[in-house]
Amino acid sequence: MRIALAQLNYLIGDFDGNVAKMITRIEKAKADQADLIVFGELSICGYPPRDFLEFDDFIRNTQEGLDKLAKHSHGIGIIVGAPSVNPVVEGKDLFNSAFVLHEGEIIHKSNKALLPTYDVFDEYRYFEPAFDFHVFEYKGKRIALTICEDIWNIHNENPLYRTCPMDILAEQNPDLMINISASPFNAGHAQQRIDVVVENAKRYQLPCFYVNNVGAQTELIFDGGSLVVRPDGGVHHELAYFEEEVQTFDLDEVLDAKEQMVRPKEKMSQVHDALILGIRDYFGKLGFGKAILGLSGGIDSAVTAALAARALGPENVRVVLMPSRFSSDHSVADAKQLAENMGMPYDIIPIESTFNAFENLLTPQFAGLPEDVTEENMQARCRGVILMALSNKFGHILLNTSNKSESAVGYGTLYGDMCGGLSVIGDLYKTEVFDLARFINREGEVIPISTIIKPPSAELRPDQKDSDSLPEYDILDEILYLYIEEEMGPREIIAKGHDEALVKRILRLVNINEFKRFQTPPVLRVSKKAFGMGRRLPIVGRYLS
């Protein structure tokens, strides 16, 4: 049997486009003499469709797409993901299903049993879990077909679930396993995913064909990396990351092979490629062509601009330098140098006159009061108004340049530097932003070295440095990581050797600034716990505040 794996980039709700893309790959698979082609989870409608699933019309369109695909199943089997209607009155209205199409008919359907409801996942909101499991026969082979999370409860050790679908399917003597997935990227998850597929292959002594989606859906980035694994756990082949790819494999050759093919997974390389895909798909899928951002000469805007230029083309990224009385000459020079290095068009719009106008306007109200963070925020908001005016006038989408460290502790100005349609580096701690800058420069200086080595500063008051109000970033980021990603409380973090007063201060800052993060743009997710849909905390509360 020859099996084609198709990891494709889908657009949620674009039924005609998704189906047309699959039909093209079906014809290619036929030309490659494949017996079976496998697409990813919910591939007809795109993943995650979220509350679109509550629209009857959305489900009808999905069914029509399935019918179109079935017409192309003559001479080849097709496995494709789509929601299906639950015929029973009890329970949720839908299943998350994998359909097997052949000779114009649906010859088998497997429903997903393990429905994740943690972090970015909320599948039990929409789907009924499957409780019966059956292999199907095709071309003389018995196939165990599962969907994404269904293979993640090996040995029934996951406390979230009460069953292990493959344990039940294995009793029916399958010849191979196929899993269709929509498994989003985070740094380190690719290896974890391989470990799970390998463990399944070894446990059941079966070859495993695993297909993952690729492409970004707003903040979620799907990295591909589909797999073919032998019964002994050897990785026969790993498809590309962050790219569409279709490859056909001969089952007998997979079983007889000895060599392994595993791709490198260096963290910053994958984060770099993930963010570029995230930007490109956000713009491409929404029909936007050009981006704009403020370029300060600091590390955050420099990295954001470099990524945007690589994603969209430098000619499509407009950067704006907006110096104030506090901006250093080297910051302006660094910003100009970066724009020239990458070939990005730039404007220089000083904000001094605008800032003076606001100061004069508010003089009667501020009389007798000392300058404080208010004046700093006014500068940031002057810049935000300028950027949004240019965005409106020219149809450019504003990219936000805030990093995770600063967003976590509220070190940013609402309606100022926190503006934007998309947060590019909002899931990278400041120390990681520096790491990414060095990665971008690995083959030559793109970001000026002086931008990387100078002390970080918002340049909103004389001689300002981030360290004036925050601990050094290596200390801050470790505390934030333990609290946000590892979900440790203050006592656990203090036990790691961190100063008690500092830990309590930092955690308090994180919690009281939830209202700011609630109003910020979607953040491209590259960690296991990003701000946004995967971290749902109350704005009003007293815990650690």
Give the chain's mean pLDDT: 95
Q: How many domains does the chain have?
A: 2
Catalytic-labelled residue, pool 112, 285, 404, 529: 112
pLDDT, tens only, 355-400:
999 999 999 999 999 999 999 999 999 999 999 999 999 999 999 9
Catalytic-labelled residue, pool 148, 164, 208, 382: 148
If asked whether residues 307 and 356 sit together in one domain, one would say yes
Give the strand order in the sheet containing 227-229. Answer: 136-138, 141-147, 176-181, 208-212, 227-229, 235-238
Mean pLDDT to the nearest integer, 506-512: 96
Confidence of residue 489 (pLDDT cuts 50, 70, 90): very high
pLDDT score recorded for residue 470: 87
Give strand pairing partners of 97: 82, 111
pLDDT score recorded for residue 26: 98
pLDDT score recorded for residue 8: 98
Give yes or no: 382 in active site. Answer: no
Pairing between β-strand 176-181 and β-strand 141-147 as defined by DSSP bridges? parallel
If asked whether residues 408 and 452 sit together in one domain, one would say yes
CATH number at residue 137: 3.60.110.10
Give yes or no: 148 in active site. Answer: yes
Among 259-263, 468-472, 508-512, the range with the most confident prediction by mean pLDDT is 508-512
If asked whether residues 347 and 393 sit together in one domain, one would say yes
Distance spanning both ends of the chain, measured CA to CA: 61
If asked whether residues 283 and 238 sit together in one domain, one would say no
The amino acid that residue 285 corresponds to is: K
If asked whether residues 173 and 296 sit together in one domain, one would say no
If asked whether residues 257 and 381 sit together in one domain, one would say no
pLDDT at 13 > cutoff 90: yes
Confidence of residue 162 (pLDDT cuts 50, 70, 90): confident
If asked whether residues 281 and 240 sit together in one domain, one would say no
Please give the DSSP secondary-structure letter assigned to residue 481: H
Domain that holds residue 349: 270-466
Give yes or no: 41 in active site. Answer: yes
pLDDT, tens only, 410-433:
999 999 999 999 999 999 999 999
pLDDT at 176 > cutoff 90: yes
Q: Which of 146-160, 205-219, 258-272 has the lowest mean pLDDT?
A: 146-160
If asked whether residues 254 and 309 sit together in one domain, one would say no
Out of 244, 265, 286, a domain closes at: 265
On whether residue 365 sits in a domain, the answer given is yes
pLDDT at 465 > cutoff 90: no
Token pair of 93 as six digits:
């209205």
If asked whether residues 421 and 437 sit together in one domain, one would say yes
Determine whether 292 is exposed, middle or buried from the number of CB atoms within 10 Å of its CB (0-12, 13-18, 19+). Answer: buried
If asked whether residues 290 and 193 sit together in one domain, one would say no
Token pair of 513 as six digits:
């600034």
Out of 466, 494, 517, a domain closes at: 466
pLDDT, tens only, 15-41:
999 999 999 999 999 999 999 999 999
pLDDT at 105 > cutoff 70: yes
Which residues have C-beta within 8 Å of that of residue 210, sequence separation ≥ 6? 178, 179, 181, 197, 226, 227, 228, 229
pLDDT at 511 > cutoff 70: yes
